[in-house]
Amino acid sequence: MGGVRRASSVNTHPQAVAPPPTAPPTGILRRSMFGLTRVRKTAAATLAVAAAATTALLGAGTASAAPQPIVGGTTTTTSAYPYVMQITDASQNQFCGGTLVSPTKVVTAAHCMVGETTSSVRVVGGRTYLNGTNGTVARVSRIWIHPSYTDATNGDDIAVLTLSTSMPYSTIGYVSSSDTGLYAAGTTARVLGWGTTRENGSSSNQLRTATVPTVSDASCTSSYGSSYVKSDMICAGYTSGGTDTCQGDSGGPLIIAGKLAGITSWGDGCARAGYPGVYTRLTSFSSLVTTQLSS
């Protein structure tokens, strides 16, 4: 569940390009195909990024954030989870996930949006399969990236997309700042995405889901050291590994008690024992999401 945290500015606007990413911490592989997160790019860009991510994984001595899909999960459909969105390029090649929190607002990871413009991104809803042609494709009219975001391992890994047209699908509510109790260690959380089904493996054509337990801050700090920022992040996964988000899952939802509680961000590889997935702790940013919903 790793994600690349790219440097960005506040409230990007139509045609505005987010700044390029800052150099990631040595060894951190994000869960995306952009380097250290769980994002996935396609075609030539995907191959280049995947190669770089593989090199980072093999040579890393510390945690890495690289592109990855749900490992150890099961297939599902967008009918069961209508609020799960594909974030794609203009040719509808998926590279991240997102969550529909209002008909025109999608919450995703900041590292997914760095370097993107409103003309380069599409949001696809109601499409269970990556190679499908059904569902609704929406253009993006505005990209907001947390103003303090620099890299996934520094926190603030959140972005909100404003769609040009409304999505005809059910939305999901999100946590408030007072919902911190939902993150108690051992709480069951659900993750969803189209990422790879194993580290450095192939992506899943069909939407997948899995449940993972939340992990205590102390345990996550033991795994990731100073890269784990407990005010901004929450870990989820099994001590033995085996189930996790992976490349291509970045930006997708972590659901607890029927609410959006986290955003797939980064991790050390995928489903490795002792290295749970790291997610954006949404209670720390819920007021900002609410502000974006009214903007």
Tell me 241's DSSP state: -
Tokens standing for residue 230 = 């407990």
CA 131, CA 3: separation in Å to the nearest integer?
24
Told to judge if 250 belongs to the known catalytic residues of this protein, a careful annotator would answer yes
Tokens 């592989």 correspond to 29
Report residue 57: phi and psi, to 5°.
Answer: -65, -45
Catalytic hit among 151, 156, 157, 244: 157
Catalytic hit among 250, 265, 284, 286: 250
Catalytic hit among 111, 151, 249, 284: 111
- 153 within 8 A of 26, measured Cβ to Cβ: no
Catalytic residue set: 111, 157, 250
